[in-house]
Amino acid sequence: MIFVTVGAQMPFDRLIRAVDEWATSRTVDVFAQIGPSDFCPKSIRSQRFIDPQEFRKSVQAASGIVAHAGMGTILTALEYGKPIIVMPRRGDLRETRNDHQVATATLFSQQGRIIVAFDEQELIQKLDQFDTSQRTERIEPHASPRLIATIRNFIEQKS
């Protein structure tokens, strides 16, 4: 199953429409959390909202994730070692207030941690090439003891 999520704050119909269009001509199980959208996908299962526990279960059960470039979603996918394609919301399209998701997606992509599609056509191409059997290196769900010690030392030196 491919799990698609756009977060809960705003609709991201451009992403959901592209995945729904892609799934029309493919035999693939897709479940999407679509947020406060009025769009009703025809080719994929969807639900407007899911609670945090159900979100984590969906990520864990998924073979791959498709999402907006939200930090929580990206980090959760990496925590579970799930391959993820992100399509960032764009400020010029009024999908968000600025292009912070474009910056996030670009940075993670440069690290080779995620796959990024910057528009619908690129998303469909990336979905066609999506290798959901390939796991990514997992990250820890909490900061490392070394990072915590470094921050603690920095704060103590400033006090």
The phi and psi torsions of 85 (rounded to 5 degrees) equal -110, 130
Could you give the CA distance from residue 114 to residue 130 in angstroms, rounded to a whole number? 11
Amino acid at 32: A
Residue 74 exposure: Cα atoms within 13 Å on the Cβ side: 21
What are the domain boundaries of the chain?
2-158
* Full-model pTM: 0.87
**Looking at beta carbons, which pairs linking 127-130 to residues 24 or more positions away fall under 8 Å?**
127/19, 127/22, 127/66, 127/85, 128/22, 130/2, 130/64, 130/83, 130/85
Could you give the CA distance from residue 131 to residue 70 in angstroms, rounded to a whole number? 21
CB under 8 Å to 155, separation ≥6 — which residues? none
Tens digits of residue pLDDT in 108-130: 889 888 999 999 999 999 999 98
Tens digits of residue pLDDT in 20-65: 999 999 989 999 999 999 999 999 999 999 999 999 999 999 999 9
* pLDDT confidence band for 82 (50 / 70 / 90): very high
**Contact yes or no for 54/26 (Cβ under 8 A):** no
For 2-158, which CATH superfamily applies? Glycogen Phosphorylase B; (3.40.50.2000)
